[in-house]
Amino acid sequence: MTDPRPVRVRMAPSPTGYFHLGSARTALFNWLYARHTGGKFILRIEDTDRTRYMPDSLQDIMDSLHWLGLDWDEGPVVGGPYGPYFQSERLALYHEWAERLLAAGLAYRCYCTEARLEALREEQRARKEPIIGYDRHCRTLTAVQRAELAAAGAASVIRFAMPLEGETCFTDLLRKIKPFDNNQYRDPILVKSDGFPTYHFANVIDDHFMEITHILRGDEWLSSVPLHVNLYNALGWEIPVFAHLPLILDPGGVGKLSKRKKKGEGDEDLLTYIREYREAGYLPEAMFNFLAIMGWAYSADTDLFSRAQAIARFDIVDINPAAGALPLSKLQWMNGHYIRSLAPADLMERLLPFLAKTLGQPVEALRAHPALPVLVPLIQERLKTLDEAASLIDFAFVEALEYDPQMLVAKGLTPAQSLAALTAARTLLATLPFTEEGLDAPLRNLADQFGVKVGQLFGILRVAITGKQVAPPLFGSMIALGREKTLARCLRAEELLRSL
Ligand code: GLU
């Protein structure tokens, strides 16, 4: 299926909630296709459902796209020749085309009240029939009846006059579509009584006037396509190319990724919103890569690839239409990879907001702190997420450490033996140069002379200096802390050991 027009794809979120993982994947595939083909990626805000509108949703959508590096060529903020890009600002266009459909007899005003529609549903329920929807009551009103209702000021909606029989089929680049029975589309509403269009109507009109060539979206919209196709036909417009993307499943493949699931309900569970990944310390590079392998593969040999590589190779027809699941551990692994490949100065910059939040200290103060450039390279290897850093290196940024004094007693030694070893180490530390080479051999020799294991001595020192049994490498930690603080912390630990 080749389309001679330049590629124009769109992401059309409704501002009803935070930007979801699945929406991000849809945005990414659209963006990749636009960048691969040299086409345009459009962001259109489908804000016609006033009841579900959430005020900070738009900002969250845009922040999430920015964070992922998915820039849009046309849309909010940047504008563009096909605007406005908010559906709420395009009402006149929808009304104009609704009027044309009315005039052509392809749509009609429906005056049925909510009470009548509810009674209808109730009747269908009572007869134990499947709810088939609207009975098309107003489709056959006479001109006189219509005029009377209009004169009486009765509220109305505009409905589409779907073909009463037959089937509608369409092509999808990713899957074989079985024809849909037209009778199941019970004259859907195009314009609501508040004057706002429904999703279906506004979506079709905008895709046409924004000259969208390819529609890539979640497969939950598949069953709406026959209606859209009939609308395109009624309006006499060209039908875009469709590609409905597979569902993202929860790991284990047991169900749909819920929009409501809470963080941390299971180790492997994916988080729901892009903001949650950002707050948990995932890098946008890793997130981009992870989203890209949700239904697409760069190659059989590797899951790791750059943005440029993905752009060069991406094509819609290579998307796997089967619903899939990836565990969070896969993203953690990827994130570790991307963290390790950062220059330490870059990693430090990215860690600052996380450290500032956990340590309760201003970013500027932390950026100027001499310990940070020493510590960051020491933890770079072991970080899976940015938010893990604070608990590893907080010892260097607090005045006093809180820890259980029992931790100072090395396994296999008594408190007195631990105290003696620590005192000797402190005395030696007062004389040693604070560099890796300066500390390494003398401290190891000291352990030998004392008849304790290196691991025992280093363990005592680690707790004295960091308050933890698991911390960054010992000498680096001491160097980061500096001689004065290191000695003071040893003295304090000696006091604690004496009190045991
Ligand atoms: N506004 C719809 C949504 O929020 C857009 C669906 C589509 O891409 O057509 O998912």
| Rounded distance from Cα 176 to ligand 1 centre (Å) | 21
| Domain shared by 442 and 355, yes or no | no
Contact 162, 188 (CB under 8 A): yes
Question: Is 387 in the same domain as 446?
Answer: no
Pocket test for ligand 1, best of 212, 217, 222, 232 (most atoms within 8 A of CB): 217
Q: Is 217 in the pocket of ligand 1 (CB under 6 A)?
A: yes
Residue at which a domain ends, from 156, 181, 204: 204
User: Does residue 265 form part of some domain?
Assistant: no
> If you measure from the C-alpha of residue 424 to the centroid of ligand 1, how many angstroms do you get, rounded to a whole number?
69
* 220 Cα to the center of ligand 1, angstroms: 10
Predicted pLDDT at 261: 45
481 lines ligand 1 (CB under 6 A): no
Is the pLDDT confidence value at 348 over 60?
yes
Determine if ligand 1 sits within 6 Å of the CB of residue 221: yes
Q: Are 416 and 392 part of one and the same domain? A: no
Closest CA to ligand 1's atom 10: 13
Domain identity same for 197 and 101: yes
The stretch 296-309 carries a mean pLDDT of: 96
CA of 439 to the centre of ligand 1 (A): 62
Is 367 among the domain residues?
yes
In short, whether 16's Cβ falls inside 6 Å of ligand 1 is no
Please tell me the distance from the alpha carbon of residue 25 to that of residue 247, in angstroms, as a whole number: 10
CB–CB of 188/198 below 8 Å? yes
Ligand 1 within 6 A of 46 CB? Answer: yes
Question: Could you tell me the CATH number of the domain that includes residue 411?
Answer: 1.10.10.350
User: 30 CB under 6 A from ligand 1?
Assistant: no
Range of the domain at 376: 342-397
Residue from 14, 228, 239 whose mutation best tests the ligand 1 pocket (most atoms within 8 A of CB): 14
Q: How many CB atoms lie within 10 A of CB 125?
A: 11
* Residue listed under structure tokens 């089929």: 169
What is the total count of domains within the chain? Answer: 3
Tell me if 334 is assigned to some domain.
Answer: no
**Residues 245-287: pLDDT tens digits?**
998 887 754 555 654 444 444 557 899 999 999 999 999 999 9
Which one is predicted more confidently, 250 or 197? Answer: 197
Question: What is the number of the ligand 1 atom nearest to the C-alpha of 16?
Answer: 4
Q: Are residues 451 and 357 in the same domain?
A: no
45 lines ligand 1 (CB under 6 A): no
Last residue of a domain, one of 204, 223, 243: 204
The residue with tokens 């859209």 is 228
Higher pLDDT, 2 or 470: 470
Options 259, 261, 330, 453, the catalytic residue: 259
60 domain residue, yes or no: no
Of the candidates 178, 79, 70, 181, the residue with the CA atom closest to the CA atom of residue 133: 181
A 10 A CB-CB count for 269 gives 18
In a shared domain, residues 393 and 409: no
HEC per residue, the chain: CCCCCCCEEEECCCCCCCCEHHHHHHHHHHHHHHHHHCCEEEECECCCCCCCCCCCHHHHHHHHHHHHCCCCCEECCCECCCCCCEHHHCHHHHHHHHHHHHHCCCEEEECCCHHHHHHHHHHHHHCCCCCCCCCCHHHHCCHHHHHHHHHCCCCCEEEECCCCCCEECCCECCCCCCCEEHHHCCCCEEECCCCCECHHHHHHHHHHHCCCCEEEEEHHHHHHHHHHHHHHHHHCCCCCEEEEECCEECCCCCCECCCCCCCCCCCCCCCCEHHHHHHCCCCHHHHHHHHHCCCCCCCCCCCCCCHHHHHHHCCHHHCCCCCECCCHHHHHHHHHHHHHCCCHHHHHHHHHHHHHHHHCCCHHHHHCCCHHHHHHHHHHCCCCCHHHHHHHHHHHHCCCCCCCHHHHCCCCCCHHHHHHHHHHHHHHHCCCCCCHHHHHHHHHHHHHHHCCCHHHHHHHHHHHHHCCCCCCCHHHHHHHHCHHHHHHHHHHHHHHHHCC
Higher pLDDT, 19 or 128: 19
464 and 362 belong to one structural domain: no
**Range 456-478 average pLDDT:** 97
Does residue 158 belong to any structural domain of this protein?
yes
Do 435 and 468 sit in the same domain of this protein?
Answer: yes
Q: Supply the pTM of this predicted model.
A: 0.92
Q: Band the pLDDT of 130: cuts 50, 70, 90.
A: confident
pLDDT of the residue at 228: 98
- Is 259 designated active site? yes
Check residue 3 and give its pLDDT: 58
**CB-ligand 1 contact for 12 (6 Å cutoff):** yes
Same domain flag for 173 and 106: yes
| Residue 14 Cα to ligand 1 middle (Å) | 7
For residue 465, tell me if it sits in a domain.
yes
Q: How far is the CA of 478 from the centre of ligand 1 (A)?
A: 55
CA-wise closest residue to 233 among 166, 146, 137: 166
Asked if residue 145 has pLDDT above 90, the reply is: yes
218 CA distance to ligand 1 middle (Å)? 8
pLDDT at 256: 57
The pLDDT value recorded for residue 128 is 84
Contact 159, 110 (CB under 8 A): yes
Report yes or no on 71 lying in a domain: no
Could you tell me if residue 451 is inside a domain? Answer: yes
Residues 196 and 99 in one domain: yes
Domain of 157: which CATH number? 3.90.800.10
**Ligand 1 atom at shortest distance from the alpha carbon of 215:** 8
DSSP-assigned beta bridge partners for residue 11: 43
Q: What gap in Å lies between CA 103 and CA 81, rounded to an integer? A: 29
Residue 12 CA: nearest ligand 1 atom is 5
Residues 412, 368 within the same domain: no
Rounded-to-integer distance, Cα 56 and Cα 77, Å: 16
Q: Tell which residue, 218, 194, 220, 5, has the closest CA to residue 94.
A: 194
Q: Look at residues 189, 204, 219 and tell me which one is the last residue of a structural domain.
A: 204
The answer, yes or no, to whether any atom of ligand 1 lies below 6 A from the CB of 13, is: yes
Amino acid identity of residue 373, one-letter, is P
At residue 82, φ and ψ (nearest 5 deg) are: -110, 15
184 & 96 share domain: yes
